[in-house]
Amino acid sequence: MMEPLIVFDHLCKFYQMGDETVRAADDISFSIDRGEFVAIVGKSGSGKSTCMNIIGCLDVPTSGRYLLHGADVGSLSKNELAETRNKMLGFIFQQYNLLPKLSVLENVEVPLMYAGVPRGERRRRAEEALERVGLIDKRKNRPNQLSGGQQQRVSIARALAGDPPVILADEPTGALDSKTSREVLGMLQQVHREGRTVVLITHDNSIAVTAPRIIRLEDGKVVYDGPAHGRNALVGGEEAAG
């Protein structure tokens, strides 16, 4: 049987705020197989951002374990965490996180540069990724010369350029209008069809149902893990249509 790609094993993340202990993730267990498309959904303060930071190797658990491709992330050094991030994960953020002084092409090259990919190969892969999102003709532009939707497509190209097995999308449509949101979600579905694992973090039910499986969080705990159309799948507990 194939080993799951992402495993949360009784994972906890606690923060001290004054005298109070905030249980941002409170005994969370789930696993995500290679090639799955999963939405982690919850209201603000539910723990979904904490889960995203841990999946993305941007933070480590207080207790319990996070296994990524069989490696216990909590036991990795800072350098090993950075290397794992570069090799295993492609990030898509709500605010795009593009560098304003770099061209579109150079922005897509950034993670490849950190990964030590030689210059010629870097350029080739970045151009290929921009071709895939339909923006090769904008490669010399700066981010501020693009619309919000185009900037998000650049960030998708940047996430794909390193060919990571996991795409982690944090509220990827949060700053976009509904038509552009549908285009971006369509791209994520295409990336999933190509065999990548996609983890979508969102507070929005209408976005969450584009994933076949939903993990819903409340107060740092998993309150639902199952098909998107199941009862209690969504925030507010309403049943998704279809």
pLDDT band at 13 (very low <50, low <70, confident <90, very high): very high
User: What is the reported pLDDT for 44?
Assistant: 87
- DSSP per position, 5-67: SEEEEEEEEEEEETTEEEEEEEEEEEEE-TT-EEEEE--TTSSHHHHHHHHTTSS--SEEEEE
Rounded distance, CA 234 to CA 177, Å? 22
Q: CA-CA distance, 179 to 199, in Å (whole number)?
A: 21
Distance set, CA 93 to CA 29, 56, 122, 175 (Å): 25, 12, 22, 10
In a domain, 136, yes or no: yes
Q: Would you state the pLDDT for residue 63?
A: 93
Q: What is the pTM of this model?
A: 0.90
pLDDT tens per residue, range 61-95:
999 999 999 999 988 888 888 888 888 999 998 88
Q: Is pLDDT at 238 greater than 50 in this prediction?
A: no
Q: What Rg value do the Cα atoms of the chain yield, rounded?
A: 18
The arithmetic mean of pLDDT across residues 204-217, rounded, is 93
What average pLDDT does the structure give for the chain? 90
Domain assignment present for 14? no
Percent of the chain clearing pLDDT 90 (strictly above): 67
Q: Which two tokens stand for residue 220?
A: 């740092």
The pLDDT assigned to 116 comes to 87
Q: What is the pLDDT of residue 1?
A: 57
Packing angle, helices 148-161 and 119-132, rounded to 10: 130
Within a domain: 49: yes
In a domain, 20, yes or no: no
Q: What is the DSSP letter of 4?
A: P
Q: What is the dihedral of CA 110, 115, 118, 122, to 10 degrees?
A: -40
- Quote the domain boundaries for residue 174: 35-57+84-227
The structural domain count of the chain equals 1
Whether 3 is in a domain gets the answer no
Q: At residue 103, what is the residue type?
A: S
Q: Does a structural domain hold residue 22?
A: no
Q: What is the CATH number of the domain that holds 128?
A: 3.40.50.300
Residue 178 placed within a domain: yes
Q: What residues does 25 pair with on adjacent strands?
A: 13
In a domain, 13, yes or no: no
Share of the chain above pLDDT 70, in %: 95
